[in-house]
């Protein structure tokens, strides 16, 4: 049988429809026009419900797909944004690094270590554009020029760097070594003379030549003198002149075995200079000496003046280093008779006079004695 209400088939003998719960009417099973129309309406409703359900499901799926698509797009855009930001940040970081003095210096130093001097110079030029007064960068640039055999460019940079950074030990070192390579010993002296940095002078003391200690102060002396030098550093040579001319390596070389002898009367203008082991000159020392030998005292004559009955011998006491000359009744000179021993006193009245001449040729005043012997 079928339920008249919902059309559900069921077995005979059931009083109520198991689906819709309506009471079962026990009538002959035939379809009236009304029943057919009802059944069609029910089928149309069911079909419409299914179509509406399918349409809703389709719309729901389409909305879900759109939601997922938006989500994927959002995620995509986020990822792209992150990538763009990352790339942008990378670009900004690189630009910041590229415009960094430290970065350019690090690259220059690295290329210099690798002996790629041309590339190192390019990085260095960028660094100097950022910090033109950088002592470190200028020194490295000079070193690159030296490696490329461009000494004049390096020299100009180092001179300027030392002037701008007078306490830079590194700048002084590079400039001193370059001057030394070029044999510019006078420029080395000038550079170190002008240096006011104690640290630089201590670090590069081998580039400084000092004068030795002199043994005799300037002044006037009445005897022969000898001048010596002491505290001469190893490898140092001392040259001197005695006529006031500035000494150099062509002047007289000091010899400690003989010293400097001032043996004659006159004025001596002693100038001396020391050249250290690197051939760098010191300042020029100056001492002025005047030698004025003192004449010996008049000689002592015996016996004293007087009248004697018998002839006696006359003695002249001659100091060491002196020679005596004498005359009777005249003024003695170096052309007179040389005294070599006691002289006999002549008869009569006579005046005996004598002089002394020392080893320096200085002549004493004459000494005289008058003797009278009558026979």
pTM for this predicted structure: 0.65
The pLDDT assigned to 65 comes to: 80
In the chain, the domains with their CATH numbers are 101-207 (1.25.40.10), 213-291 (2.60.40), 300-373 (2.60.40.10)
What's the pLDDT score for residue 155? 97
Q: Given this model, what pLDDT does residue 176 score?
A: 97
The beta-strand segments (E) located in the chain are 213-214, 219-221, 225-227, 229-230, 237-241, 252-253, 260-262, 266-275, 285-291, 300-302, 306-308, 313-317, 323-328, 337-338, 343-344, 348-357, 367-373
- pLDDT, residue 91, reads 46
Nearest 10 degrees: Cα torsion 136, 141, 144, 146: -100
Of 248, 322, 254, residue with least CA distance to 282: 248
pLDDT by 10-residue block (mean), the chain, 375 residues: 72 66 55 62 76 79 80 60 48 61 95 95 94 95 95 96 96 97 96 96 96 97 96 96 97 96 96 97 97 95 93 94 97 97 94 96 96 87
- Encoding tokens for residue 14? 């059931």
């Amino acid at each position: 049988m079928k339920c008249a209400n919902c059309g559900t088939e069921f077995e005979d003998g059931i009083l109520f429809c198991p689906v819709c719960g309506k009471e079962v009417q026990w009538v002959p099973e035939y379809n009236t026009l009304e029943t057919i129309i009802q059944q069609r309406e029910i089928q149309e409703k069911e079909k419409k419900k299914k179509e509406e359900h399918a349409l809703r499901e389709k719309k729901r799926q389409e909305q879900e797909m759109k939601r997922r698509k938006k989500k994927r797009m959002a995620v995509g855009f986020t990822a792209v944004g992150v990538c763009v930001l990352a790339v942008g940040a990378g670009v900004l970081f690189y630009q910041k690094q590229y415009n960094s003095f430290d970065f350019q210096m690090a690259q220059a130093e690295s290329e210099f270590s690798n002996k790629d001097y041309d590339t190192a110079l390019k990085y260095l030029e960028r660094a100097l554009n950022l910090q033109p007064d950088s002592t470190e960068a200028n020194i490295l640039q000079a070193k690159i020029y030296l490696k490329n055999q461009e000494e004049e460019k390096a020299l100009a940079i180092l001179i300027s760097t030392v002037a701008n950074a007078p306490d830079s030990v590194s700048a002084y070192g590079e400039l001193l070594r370059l001057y030394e390579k070029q044999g510019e010993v006078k420029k080395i002296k000038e550079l170190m003379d002008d240096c006011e940095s104690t640290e630089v002078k201590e670090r590069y003391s081998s580039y400084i030549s000092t004068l030795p200690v002199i043994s005799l102060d300037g002044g006037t002396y009445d005897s022969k003198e000898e001048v010596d030098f002491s505290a001469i550093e190893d490898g140092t040579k001392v040259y001197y002149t005695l006529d006031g001319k500035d000494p150099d390596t062509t002047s007289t070389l000091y010899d400690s075995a003989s010293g400097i002898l001032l043996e004659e009367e006159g004025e001596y203008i002693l100038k001396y200079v020391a050249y250290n082991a690197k051939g760098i000159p010191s300042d020029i020392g100056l001492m002025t000496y005047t030698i004025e030998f003192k004449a010996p005292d008049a000689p002592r004559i015996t016996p004293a003046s007087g009248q004697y009955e018998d002839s006696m011998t006359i003695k002249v006491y001659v100091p060491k280093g002196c020679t005596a000359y004498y005359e009777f009744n005249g003024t003695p000179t170096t052309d007179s008779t040389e005294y070599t021993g006691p002289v006999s006193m002549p008869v009569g009245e006579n005046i005996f006079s004598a002089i002394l001449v020392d080893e320096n040729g200085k002549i004493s005043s004459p000494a005289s004695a008058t003797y009278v012997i009558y026979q």
